[in-house]
Amino acid sequence: MNSDSSKGKMEFGPRRGYYHEIDAKAAAGILDDETLSRYEDYDLLYRTLCGVLFNFVPKSGHPGGSISSGRIVSSVLFDAMDYRMDDPQCEDADLISYAAGHKAMGLYAMWALRNECARAARPDILPDPKHQLRMEDLLGFRRNPTQETPLFSKFNAKPLDGHPTPITPFVKLSTGASGVGIPTSFGLAYGAMDYWGKDSPLVHVIEGEGGMTPGRVSEGLASAASAQLWNIVLHVDWNQSSIDSDRVCREGDQPGDYVQWTPAEFCYVHDWNVISVEDGKDYRQIHAALKYASDHMNDQPTAIVYRTIKGWKYGIEGRKSHGAGHDFCSLEYFDTLKPAEERFGIEFPKDVCSKEPVEVEKHFYETLLTYRKILEEKKELSDYFAGRLQDAAERLEKSNRQRRNPKVDLDLIYSDKVGYDDVPDECSFAPGSSQTLRAALGLTLGYLNRETGGALIGSSADLLGSTSINKLNAGFPEGFYNSVSNPDSRLIASGGICEDAMGGLMAGISTYGKAIGAGSSYGAFITSLQHISARLHGIGQQAREAYLGKPYNTWILVNAHAGLKTGEDGPTHADPQCLQEIQENFPSGVLITLTPWDPNEMYPMVVAGLKKRPAVLAPFVTRPSETIIDREKMNLPPATEAVKGAYSMRKADPTLEHYHGTLVLQGSGITNTFVSQVLPRIDEAGYNMNIYYISSAELFSMLPEEEQEEIFPEELTREAIAITGLTLPTMYRWVTSREGRKRSIHAFKAGRYLGSGKAHKVFEEANLHGEGQWKTIREYAEWMESSDSDI
């Protein structure tokens, strides 16, 4: 259907961001011929090196996008960033983040060439080899740490992951998974802006148009513009080619295969400054765009969109170059070397080598040494780019960046001044009063935030009050954070109902290392939607620890309204499956779940969890109010026992004649019902039972094995049954027998999703109400007594 232009045309409303175009005419005279020639030579070496990497790690890597982004990145590194080559961890330096993680081949090639320029001309500006990415490290491209080839071992080459991780100097994030790189990179910018304010370092983000198609990217763009993160410069390598398409976006009157916007339109609609570069292969136009961006900084983030060609001059262009290249040591590969050979008067090794790993590595290294020889002999080239690195360091020193708020002290949480057993009054609740778990969490985070001067930053999927994460902001200015008008607020708008981007934003904030990001939504949504961000944050923190020996930076993933007590919202929202998705489902120490049942357990557990320094701390909290139990009167251990991850509510007396087995509980709703309605009946009946509550499977696993056995002997798992408002697999560790699992009751016992209604009616449907629990326990106890044996 054709549109009727006579009926009017839609136009954008007022924008805070501007739009500007750069073409050859606008870029005239930006670089003199000599400087342009040097950049052209650098890019020739870079493009060729990308081809070399693909050749020696064949069928692996992404040459196309690495090549098309090379001129953009080299211009940013040598012309736009203020940083210190000798200190990759420099806190006040500008950052560059490869949101486009599939361009990792290009990142490694660029880093190694930059390092070689400094090595040849200014070795004094290089750090210790551990903090460099050397030519020798390219021997580790897409190699496992267990690689045993001789040169990899001899040079202690870094195992360079297929997508970037912080084991590489100057890399802060793990990226590459389905658009996560954009919001996590923007999270870095949030962290930098919050910490430095008007002196904030810039965060340069590299992405392509294909990587902008996931929904979380739109959410991230909205959040950054709304918060006025003027410290972001997004560099878009618009090569128009993905894995399957050579027309990703609409262009001119040609509709796109995937989206009907151009990257410039996409950013502009989100109120970004947009600079459109007609030819992203033209160094003059690239530098003109960078200069314009620098000269016209305002309060909005900036996107520079460069029109490029994927795989330019590689011999394979467009989508076919995305993840593919020339065959190993083929004539086509050798053809890619000829322009550099002719330009620099050298010859790359061309002996047809076998595919035997040791020989391949030897040939690879000889080829890499050719680059070293070029840069050692072409002193004017290495001198120039080493000089640009020195200029970047001098600009940084001259800027004298100062912290926005020196009173913020995240480290206080990890000091002896904050203890799990020293509970503040506002986080302690009197027996008989009412409180929600979500509010207890919000009050805990709010207390820690005030104590640290504002080192926690919260967000939600349009559920600030509903999930009580807004209490984190108590004592700070109301409203959402804005770098210009409300920089002291501790609440970020993540784009609306946007769990996807929120996970990345919070992970990026935490990664920056000066604050803890805490995001909340329904457990039914957030656990799944932020799983990728959680994985990548865990991978990144693990790599950072391996590289720097530093503990993980924690992000708090709040699974609110978790479980069956959200019954009025129905099975779409009252999700018992969310814990199963992540409990004990990450490498040890990466993610810790918290499943308290008593609001008085919240503060001790959160503090204990934070002090373990996981990459992700994932509390599960419910919505309704609970009556605070008098633990002493009920003969229950103090709430601080929850920090062990599992604790005994009752211990069987081995001296008694009859023994009634072991019961294991998990989940707030069913446990409050159990303690108030069922436990008194167990005591009255005189059942001689072990009764355990599981408050955190991961915290329990972190105890010494001897202490684990003392708290919960393994032999008891072979007789135990479980009662949980979640799913049975979360209890498999504690209930190991077939009979025990058959006798357990859980949310899916009836083999179906449960209906809607008040929480107690949903519990009744699941047989998890007081009578259902009591019947299950009574039958089990009688069976144990009559059988008088292990299950």
Q: What is the pLDDT of residues 612-639, one digit of tens each?
A: 999 999 999 999 999 999 999 999 999 9
| Inter-residue contact 472 to 443 (CB < 8 Å) | no
| Inter-residue contact 158 to 111 (CB < 8 Å) | no
pLDDT at 267: 98
pLDDT over 80 (residue 7): no
| Inter-residue contact 438 to 634 (CB < 8 Å) | no
Q: How far apart are CA 694 and CA 143, in angstroms?
A: 40
> Looking at residues 410-428, what average pLDDT do you find?
97
Assigned token pair, 544: 């950072």
pLDDT at 228: 98
Query: Among 186, 457, 219, 191, which residue's Cα sits nearest to residue 301?
Result: 186
pLDDT at 30: 95
Per-residue pLDDT reduced to its tens digit, 361-398:
999 999 999 999 999 999 999 999 999 999 999 999 99
pLDDT over 70 (residue 402): yes
pLDDT at 788: 60
Sign for the pseudo-dihedral over CA of 489, 492, 497, 503 = negative
Q: How far apart are CA 606 and CA 491, in angstroms?
A: 19
Q: How far apart are CA 119 and CA 375, in angstroms?
A: 9
> Looking at residues 280-305, what average pLDDT do you find?
98
β-strands 302-307, 273-277: how paired?
parallel
pLDDT over 70 (residue 5): no
> Looking at residues 245-263, what average pLDDT do you find?
96
Per-residue pLDDT reduced to its tens digit, 63-92:
999 999 999 999 999 999 999 999 999 999
pLDDT at 626: 92
CB-neighbour burial class of residue 5 (10 A; exposed 0-12, middle 13-18, buried 19+):
exposed
pLDDT class for 355, splitting at 50, 70, 90?
confident
Q: How far apart are CA 613 and CA 611, in angstroms?
A: 5
> Looking at residues 494-517, what average pLDDT do you find?
97
- 664 CB-near residues (< 8 Å, 6+ apart): 691, 692, 693, 694, 720, 721, 722, 723, 731, 734, 735
pLDDT over 50 (residue 3): no
- 397 CB-near residues (< 8 Å, 6+ apart): none
DSSP sequence for 387-453: HHHHHHHHHHHHH----S-TT--GGGGGSTTS-TTS--GGG---TT-EEEHHHHHHHHHHHHHHHTT
Q: How far apart are CA 320 and CA 458, in angstroms?
A: 43
Q: How far apart are CA 175 and CA 100, in angstroms?
A: 7
Per-residue pLDDT reduced to its tens digit, 10-19:
888 999 999 9
| Inter-residue contact 456 to 438 (CB < 8 Å) | no
Phi, psi of 321 (to 5 degrees): -95, 0
pLDDT over 90 (residue 608): yes
In the chain, the percentage of residues whose pLDDT exceeds 90 is: 94
- 315 CB-near residues (< 8 Å, 6+ apart): 326, 332, 335, 336
pLDDT class for 521, splitting at 50, 70, 90?
very high
pLDDT over 60 (residue 27): yes
Q: To the nearest 10°, the Cα dihedral for 238, 27, 74, 89?
A: -100
Q: What is the largest CA-CA distance in the chain?
A: 97
Sign for the pseudo-dihedral over CA of 487, 403, 616, 143 = positive
pLDDT at 323: 82
E-assigned strands of 551-615? 555-560, 591-594
The CA–CA distances, whole Å, from 531 to 213, 405, 527, 620, 697 equal 19, 33, 6, 15, 18
| Inter-residue contact 31 to 43 (CB < 8 Å) | no
How many Å from the N-terminal Cα to the C-terminal Cα in the chain? 70
**How many residues in the chain?**
791
pLDDT at 275: 98
pLDDT averaged over every residue in the chain: 95
- 717 CB-near residues (< 8 Å, 6+ apart): 662, 733, 734, 735, 736, 737, 740
In the chain, the percentage of residues whose pLDDT exceeds 70 is: 98
pLDDT over 50 (residue 1): no
> Could you tell me where the DSSP H helices lie in 629-673?
668-673
pLDDT class for 790, splitting at 50, 70, 90?
very low
Per-residue pLDDT reduced to its tens digit, 696-735:
999 999 999 999 999 999 999 999 999 999 999 999 999 9
The CA–CA distances, whole Å, from 783 to 242, 368, 553, 655, 686 equal 63, 73, 49, 20, 15
